[in-house]
Structure 1
């Protein structure tokens, strides 16, 4: 088993967010094969796309599910009728696959589309208001709970 140390590359990069790092870490740990090939693209600050080459698969042959923060893409092709086919050369891979991606916190699947043999999965990061950064003005006092003086009526 091969182990790749990406530490030197990660130290010299600036601007890559946690989603990319999580996906790279998990791709090197979980996936041993390269089928089917895929791209991960950052379209803007909070949107990402995973494009998977699934030539020969129809929408009925593909299944996407998210369990906890794991995105699982499965491709199963029916085997009926394959015994009568005789290939002289078979270069188009059509084997079953199970590809997994670990999603970063606050990232969810916004949709998926199959077009021209490419499955495109749209991801969106939605950070809750409570976790978004906010500016605090220097010298501004926050009004805390007011304490009323207790009366001496006994």
Structure 2
């Protein structure tokens, strides 16, 4: 799982915001990010080979006067470096949580395969190729 995720580069955010969890189950993964206050149209999930980028931008009311402003509508970008053959299955936003499903799909020819060991039959003889050398007269 460590190979699958996170080269966490962030733009416009110097801390670990927004928080997320990454869950693994065999060859399936789910990243869930806490993005409360971000409507669906202000979130972007982009997949490139070996890279997942999640970003959000909020257009807040900057002109109003506030007695206290504890909810910060800041923009963010979070990058996750993905291992080879990891594909995005989909994304959903529910109750302020953005969930992104990932699946590792290794091609059949790259999967380990078991080699049968035969017994009783002799193996064919392997001969080394002959190398011709010129003899120098002294």
Please give the TM-score of this superposition, normalised by the length of structure 2: 0.76
In the alignment, structure 2 segments of 5+ residues that lack a partner are 122-138
Matches of 1:45 and 1:116 in 2, distance apart?
Answer: 27
Q: Counterpart in 2 of 1:76?
A: 57
Deviations 1:54-108 (A, max 9, x none): 01001100011112211111101124x4312x22222223210011000110001
* Alignment root-mean-square deviation, CA: 1.9
Unaligned runs of 5+ in 1: 1-18, 142-154
Deviation, 1:37, is: 0.8
| Divergent runs of 4+, >3 A | none
The structure that is helix-richer by fraction is 1
Does structure 1 conserve the Cα–Cα contact (< 8 Å) formed by 2:3 and 2:83? no
Rounded to whole Å, the distance in 2 between the matches of 1:21 and 1:65 is 19
- Counterpart residue number, 1:35: 17
- Equivalent residue, structure 2, for 1:50: 31
Distance 1:67 1:126 in 2: 15
Which residue is 1:151 aligned to?
Answer: none
Structure number, greater radius of gyration: 2
Alignment of 1:121-132 (within 5 A): 121-132=100-111
**Partners in 1 of 2:103 and 2:3 — Cα distance?**
16
Count of aligned pairs between the two proteins? 117
RCO higher in structure (CA 8 A, sep ≥6): 2
**CA offsets 1:98-121 (integer angstroms, 9 cap, x no match):** 110001100011000000000000
Alignment TM-score, normalising by the size of structure 1: 0.69
